Chains A and B, each alone.
Chain A
Amino acid sequence: MFGKPGIREEKVLAISPQATDGLESIPALLHRNATQFGDKPAYREKEFGIWQSWSWADTAKEVEALALGLLNLGVNEGDFVAIIGRNRPHFYCSMVAAQSVGAIPVPMYSDSATDEMAHVMDHCGARFAVVQDQEQVDKIIDIQDSLHQFEHMIYVDPRGLRKYDHRKLHQFSHVQDQGRAAKEEFIDELEARRAKLTYDSTCVMLYTSGTTGRPKGVVLSNRNIIETSRASSDFDHLGPGEEVLAYLPMAWVGDFIFSIGQAYWNGFCVNCPESTDTMMTDLREIGPTYYFAPPRVFETQLTNVMIRMEDASRFKKKLFDRFMAHARKVGPDILDGNPVGAMDRLKYALGNLFIYGPLKNTLGLSRVRVGYTAGEAIGPEIFEFYRSLGINLKQLYGQTEASVFITVQPDGEVRNDTVGVPAPGVEIKITDSGEVLYRGPGTFEEYYKNPESTADTKDAEGWVATGDAGFFDTDTGHLRIIDRAKDVGKMSDGSLFAPKYVENKLKFYPNILEVVVFGNERAECTAFVNIDLNAVGNWAERNNIGYASYQELAGHPQVLEAIKGHMEEMNRSLADDPMLSGCQLHRFLVLHKELDADDGELTRTRKVRRRIIEEKFHDLLTALYDGSSEISTTTEVTYEDGRKGSISATLQIVDAAVVPVTATQVAAE
Chain B
Amino acid sequence: MLDASEGYTTDDGRKIGGVVMEMKNITLRFGGVVAIKDISFDIRQGEIRAIIGPNGAGKSSMLNVISGFYNPQEGEVWYQGSKRPPMRPYQVAQQGIARTFQNIALFEGMTVLDNVMTGRIRQMNAGLFSQALWKGKAENEEVENREVVEKVIDFLEIQAIRKTPVGRLPYGLKKRVELARALAAEPSILLLDEPMAGMNVEEKEDMSRFILDVNDEFGTTIALIEHDMGVVMDLSDRVVVMDYGMKIGDGTPDEVRSNQAVIDAYLGVAHD
**A interface vs B, CB < 8 Å?**
47-50, 159-160, 162-163, 274-275, 277-278, 281
Contacts and interface: CB of A to CB of B under 8 A. Distances in A.
B213 A49 contact: no
A162 B153 CA distance: 21
B159 A277 contact: yes
Given A159-B217, A162-B216, A163-B12, A48 B160 contact: no
A382 B146 CA distance: 41
Interface in B156-206: 157, 159-160, 162
A159 B162 CA distance: 21
B154 interface: yes
A274 B150 CA distance: 12
Contact of B151 (A48, A275, A281): A48
B147 interface: yes
B13 interface: yes
Q: Indicate the member of A48, A159, A160, A278 with the most B CB atoms within 10 Å.
A: A48
A47 B160 contact: no
B13 A47 contact: no
Contacts of A277: 159-160
B216 A49 contact: no
B15 to A, nearest CB: 11
B153 A278 contact: no
Interface in B27-58: none
Q: Indicate the member of A49, A162, A278 with the most B CB atoms within 10 Å.
A: A49
Contact of A275 (B12, B155, B160): B160
Contact of B159 (A159, A162, A278): A278
14 contacts: A48-B147, A48-B150, A48-B151, A49-B146, A49-B150, A49-B153, A50-B150, A160-B213, A160-B216, A162-B216, A275-B159, A275-B160, A277-B159, A278-B159
Interface in B232-270: none
A49 B159 contact: yes
A221 B165 CA distance: 50
Contacts of A281: 160
Given A49-B150, A49-B153, A159 B213 contact: yes
Contacts of A160: 212-213, 216-217
Contacts of B216: 160, 162-163
A276 to B, nearest CB: 9
A427 B147 CA distance: 55
A300 to B, nearest CB: 15
Nearest to B213: A160
A47 B13 CA distance: 31
Contacts, number: 33
Contacts of A48: 147, 150-151, 153-154
Contact of A278 (B160, B212, B213): B160
Interface residues of B, number: 18
A44 to B, nearest CB: 15
Nearest to B148: A48
Q: Indicate the member of B160, B213, B216 with the most A CB atoms within 10 Å.
A: B160
A279 to B, nearest CB: 9
Contacts of A163: 12-14, 216
Nearest to A279: B160
A529 to B, nearest CB: 27
Contacts of B14: 163
A418 B188 CA distance: 64
Nearest to A640: B202
Give the top 9 A-B pairs by smallest Cβ distance, nearest first. Answer: A277-B160, A48-B150, A278-B160, A163-B13, A49-B150, A274-B159, A275-B159, A278-B159, A160-B213
Contacts of A47: 154
B66 to A, nearest CB: 28
Interface in B213-228: 213, 216-217
A275 B162 CA distance: 12
A212 B155 CA distance: 40
Contacts of B151: 48
A159 B212 CA distance: 11
Given A160-B213, A160-B216, A277-B159, 18 more contacts: A48-B150, A48-B151, A48-B153, A48-B154, A49-B146, A49-B153, A49-B162, A159-B155, A160-B217, A162-B216, A163-B12, A163-B13, A163-B216, A275-B157, A275-B159, A275-B160, A277-B160, A281-B160
Contacts of A50: 150
Contacts of A274: 159
A162 B218 CA distance: 12
A275 B14 CA distance: 30
B198 to A, nearest CB: 16
Contacts of B153: 48-49
A274 B161 CA distance: 12
A56 B160 CA distance: 29
Nearest to B161: A277
A647 to B, nearest CB: 16
A395 B152 CA distance: 42
Contacts of B160: 275, 277-278, 281
Nearest to A164: B13
B77 to A, nearest CB: 32
Contacts of B217: 159-160
A661 B77 CA distance: 87
Nearest to B205: A641
Nearest to A639: B202
A163 B9 CA distance: 12
A277 B159 CA distance: 8
A531 to B, nearest CB: 21
A163 B14 CA distance: 8
A281 to B, nearest CB: 8
A166 B14 CA distance: 16
A275 B161 CA distance: 11
Contacts of B162: 49
A48 B152 CA distance: 9
Q: Indicate the member of B12, B150, B154, B213 with the most A CB atoms within 10 Å.
A: B154
Nearest to A281: B160
A535 to B, nearest CB: 19
Nearest to B12: A163
A281 B161 CA distance: 10
B257 to A, nearest CB: 25
Nearest to A278: B160
Contacts of A278: 159-160
A164 B160 CA distance: 30
A53 B259 CA distance: 58
A278 B216 CA distance: 27
Contacts of B155: 159
B157 to A, nearest CB: 7
Interface string B127-163: 0000000000000000000110011011101011010
A281 B160 CA distance: 8
Nearest to B160: A277
A639 to B, nearest CB: 9
Contacts of B12: 163
Contacts of A162: 216
Nearest to A157: B154
B208 to A, nearest CB: 12
A327 to B, nearest CB: 30
Nearest to B155: A159
A414 B153 CA distance: 44
Contacts of A275: 157, 159-160
A277 B112 CA distance: 16
Nearest to B113: A49
A641 to B, nearest CB: 9
Nearest to B212: A160
A49 B212 CA distance: 25
B179 to A, nearest CB: 16
A101 B50 CA distance: 52
A48 B13 CA distance: 30
Interface string B2-38: 0000000000111000000000000000000000000
Nearest to B217: A159
Contacts of B212: 160
B1 to A, nearest CB: 27
Nearest to B146: A49
Contacts of B147: 48
